[in-house]
Each structure stands twice: as C-alpha cells, then as structure tokens.
C-alpha cells in the first residue's frame, strides 16, 4: 500500500518565477514564438509599411497645408487647403456665423454632460442624468433653433456639417434605444396582438431601405397628411431614422432578453415586484449589459447612416464635403474630401467602440452561473 505522509509546516506562498517580463521577452512571446509566427509577423509588418507608406507620403509628407485658394495646391500630395478653407462650413454647415457660439455652447454642454456621465469617478450621476434627460434637450432646442429669449431664429434648413451629423446621431441614438426596448418587450409579450404588432413593425422597418423611408418622409409626406399640416423636414427625417433603427435595436435587445434566465423574473415575482418593476429593475439592466456589443454595432451604423439626410436636402458632414466638391472654385479635390470625412467618422465611431468595451469590462460583476 502507498505511503502515508503528513505535513506539519505549511509552505509559505512565494512570488511567481520572473519568466515573462521585459520588452524583448514580450516581443519574443507575442511576435516571434515559433518560426511560423515570426514569418507572419515580419511579412505583416512589411505589408503594412508597403501599403501605408505611399498614403503617408501623399497625406502628410508631400501635402499642402497652408493657403486659402486652390493656388496653394502644388498637386504633388494632398491639398488640405480645401478642407481648411471650408472648415467652418464643415463644422457648422450654413449656420449663421453670428449665432455659431450657440452651437459651441450646446456641444460644450454635451461634452461636459457626457464626461460627467461616462467617467465613473465623477459623483452626482443622478443629477447628471436628470440634466441630460430634461434640462439639456430643452437648452439645446432653445439654443440651436432660437426664436426665444431674443435669440435669432435659425431654421433647420441652415443646419449642417458636423453639427447636424452629431445632432441627428444623438437624437437617433437616444430615441431608438427606448423605442427598440419597448418593441423588444412587445415581441415577447404574452398578448398575441401586441406581439403581432411588434413583429410586423420590426420586420417592416428592418426590411425596407432607409433611403426609401427618407424619400417618403421628405417628398411624399405632404401626400399622406391633410394639406394644412406641415412638419419640419429635419423632424420628419428624425422620426424616420428613429423608427428604422429602433427595429434593429429591438432585435438586439430581444437577443439579450432571451439570454436572461427565467429564474430572474420569477425571483422578481416572488419579491412582489410588478411587471414594469421586474423589467426595469431586473431583466433589462442585465439584458442590455449582455448585448452592449450589438447595441454599439447599431449605434455605429446609425451614426454613419446620418449621411442619408442628404435626401431631405440637409447637408451633413459627408454631404457638405461633397457639396464643396461641386463648388466651381474647388473642382477636383474628391480624394481629400473623402479621406477627411472618413477620418472624422472614424474618430467618433472608434471612440464609441472603445468606450463600450471599457463599459463592458466595468460591468463585469463576477461570473454568473
């Protein structure tokens, strides 16, 4: 029979062996661990340099930066003068110059509020939320549109550029999420008609192209309503965008709802919570957390789709750059325009993507069974 043994002295915990530290070690471990990986690494880096170098040369090294007319363009590299000459309109669209400070204030407020809400350490989240939900929209409405308190009225026709893109995206995002949640709940409802309506609504909006929706909203709407009724064009587009994306949002949220074990709802029932309390306090917080990647996918797609407001005759960031290309003084700078637009969109979407990943990590409250 095998031996018996017993330990009297406990072994003290030791520090792990120092095997994997330092830059070289890191490189070796991550890039050159084994012959195949080394080759892959070298080839990849080579391809990256080979592919990016001409672009860097065009966009940075040989580019023209200073000047105010096309005479400043040497034609060897990119001519960013085109962008800088139109920079104001790219940001503000056709918003009257005298009133642009109002746009600045609104977006400064928004940035501040976002920071307040987004950075976990800053206290007073409840107040921030109240301001963001009630105070800020009113302030933004009054400031951007004007017509009150002695502010000059600025028609939405004059909105444009980055300012319009951000406005539409923000309202679209803020609007489509709650509608999507309600639709998702509706689709899981026990009442057949509510469920049927949700399904039809979702499948309809998910099935038609947004372009045609906006087309209808922009030029055909007057046919659908009595002649006296008039809506602001931007408003119509916003409604269209919200409904359209809420259908996508609903499907994402539904995925999350399906993943929450039934026991959670039962526990809520056993505690005496009613339907809306169970949903609001228990099921949705968990479901939404689960589908953050999907929600952000939708946000990003929505953000980029704001470009379609061109159909209602408004010039968002991309459209205003394209409009600039038809200015007879600046013909022929398409590449610069598109590259710049791509860069701006990228910066915003990338930030969203990164922030969401950070939130995903933060919301990890230990593993669940």
Partner 1 sequence: ATLDDVKERGSLNCGVNVGLAGFSSPDSDGNWQGLDVETCRGIAAAIFGDPEKVEFTPLTAKERFTALQSGEIDVLSRNTTWTATRDNSLGLNFTVTTFYDGQGFMVDKDLGIESLEDLDGASICIQSGTTHELNLADYFPSRDIDINTVTFDTPDQTAQGFAHGRCDVLTSDTSQLSALRLQLPEPDSVEILETLISKEPLGPVVRQGDDQWLDIVQWSIFAMINAEEMGVNSDNVDEMRDNPPNPGVARLLGDDGNYGEQLGLSDDWAYNIIKGVGNYGEVFTATVGEDSPLGIKRGLNALWNEGGILYAPPIR
Partner 2 sequence: MIEMKGLNKWYGDFHVLRDIDLTVKRGERIVVCGPSGSGKSTLIRCINHLESHQQGEIVVNGVAMTQDVKRIEQIRRNVGMVFQHFNLFPHLSVLENCCLSQIWVQKKPRAEVEKTAMEYLERVQIADQAYKYPGQLSGGQQQRVAIARALCMRPEVMLFDEPTSALDPEMIKEVLDVMVELAREGMTMLCVTHEMGFAKTVADRVIFMDQGQIIEEAPPETFFNNPRSERTKLFLSQILGH
Partner 3 sequence: MSRSPSGDRVALWRNPTFRAYVLQGVLLAALAALIGFIVVNTMANLEARGISTGFGFLDERAGFSIPQTLIEYSGDSTYGRTFVVGLLNTLLVSALGVVVATIIGFAVGIARLSPNWLLARLAGAYVEIFRNIPLLVQILFWYFAVLQALPSPRQSLSFLEIIFINVRGLVIPDPQPLSGFAATPWALLVGIVAAIALGIYAKRRQVRTGKALPIYWLGAGLIIGIPLVVFLLTGSPLEWSIPELTGFNFSGGVRVLPELVALWLALSIYTAAFIAEIVRSGIQSVPQGQVEAANALSLPGSITLRKVVIPQAMRVIVPQLTSQYLNLIKNSSLATAIGYPDLVAVFSGTTLNQTGQAIEIVAMTMAVYLTISLVVSALMNVYNARTLLKER
186: Cβ–Cβ under 8 A, 6 or more apart, which residues? Answer: 194, 195, 197, 198
Nearest alpha carbon to residue 144 among 183, 98, 84, 95:
95
What is the C-alpha separation between 219 and 117, in angstroms, rounded?
39
What is the C-alpha separation between 111 and 173, in angstroms, rounded?
16
Q: Is 52 in the site for partner 3 (CB under 8 A)?
A: no
Nearer to partner 2, 62 or 277 (CB): 277
Binder of partner 1 out of 32, 58, 94, 348 (CB under 8 A): 94
Binder of partner 3 out of 28, 30, 74, 277 (CB under 8 A): 30
Q: What is the DSSP letter of 148?
A: S
Q: Is 187 in the site for partner 1 (CB under 8 A)?
A: no
Dihedral pair phi/psi, residue 315, rounded to 5°: -105, 100
Give the DSSP per-residue string, 266-325: HHHHHTT--HHHIIIIIIHHHHHHHTHHHHHHHHHHHHHHGGGGGGGT-EEHHHHHHHHH
Binder of partner 3 out of 129, 235, 259, 271 (CB under 8 A): 259
- Asked whether 214 and 312 are in contact (CB, 8 A), the reply is yes
Binder of partner 3 out of 131, 132, 144, 210 (CB under 8 A): 210
Q: Is 70 in the site for partner 2 (CB under 8 A)?
A: no
Binder of partner 2 out of 98, 119, 138, 270 (CB under 8 A): 270
Q: Is 250 in the site for partner 1 (CB under 8 A)?
A: no
Interface positions, 301-330, toward partner 1 (CB under 8 A): 310-311, 313, 315, 319-320, 322-329
Q: Among 134-142, 212-220, 276-284, 357-365, which window interacts with partner 1 (CB under 8 A)?
A: 212-220
Interface residues with partner 1 (CB under 8 A) are 85-86, 88-89, 93-95, 97, 155, 157-158, 160, 215, 218-223, 227, 310-311, 313, 315, 319-320, 322-329, 331-332, 334
């Amino acid at each position: 029979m095998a031996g018996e043994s017993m330990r009297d002295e406990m072994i003290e915990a030791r520090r792990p062996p120092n095997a994997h530290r330092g830059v070289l070690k890191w490189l070796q471990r991550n890039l050159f661990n084994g012959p195949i990986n080394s080759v892959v690494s070298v080839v990849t880096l080579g391809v990256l340099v080979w592919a990016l170098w001409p672009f860097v040369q065009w966009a940075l090294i040989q580019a023209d930066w200073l000047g105010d007319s096309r005479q400043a363009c040497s034609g060897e590299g990119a001519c960013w003068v085109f962008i800088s000459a139109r920079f104001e309109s790219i940001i503000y669209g056709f918003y009257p110059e005298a009133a642009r400070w109002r746009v600045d204030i609104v977006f400064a407020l928004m940035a501040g509020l976002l920071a307040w809400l987004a950075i976990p350490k800053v206290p007073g989240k409840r107040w921030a939320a109240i301001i963001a939900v009630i105070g800020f929209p009113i302030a933004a409405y009054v400031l951007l549109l004007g017509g009150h308190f002695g502010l000059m009225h600025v028609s939405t026709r004059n909105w444009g550029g980055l300012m319009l893109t951000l406005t539409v995206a923000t309202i679209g995002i803020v609007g489509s999420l709650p509608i999507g949640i309600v639709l998702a709940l509706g689709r899981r409802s026990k009442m057949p008609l509510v469920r049927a309506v949700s399904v039809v609504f979702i499948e309809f909006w998910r099935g038609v192209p947004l372009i045609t929706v906006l087309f209808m909203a922009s030029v055909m709407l007057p046919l659908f309503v009595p002649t006296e009724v008039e809506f602001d064009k931007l408003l119509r587009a916003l409604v269209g965008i919200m409904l359209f994306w809420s259908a996508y949002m609903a499907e994402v949220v539904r995925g999350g709802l399906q993943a929450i074990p039934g026991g959670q709802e039962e526990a809520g029932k056993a505690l005496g919570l009613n339907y809306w309390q169970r949903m609001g306090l228990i099921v949705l917080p968990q479901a939404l957390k689960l589908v953050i990647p999907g929600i952000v996918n939708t946000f990003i797609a929505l953000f980029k789709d704001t470009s379609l407001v061109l159909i209602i005759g408004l010039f968002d960031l991309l459209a205003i750059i394209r409009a600039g290309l038809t200015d007879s003084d600046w013909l022929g700078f398409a590449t610069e325009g598109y590259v710049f637009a791509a860069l701006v969109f990228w910066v915003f979407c990338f930030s969203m993507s990164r922030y969401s990943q950070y939130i995903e990590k933060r919301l990890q409250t230990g593993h669940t069974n």
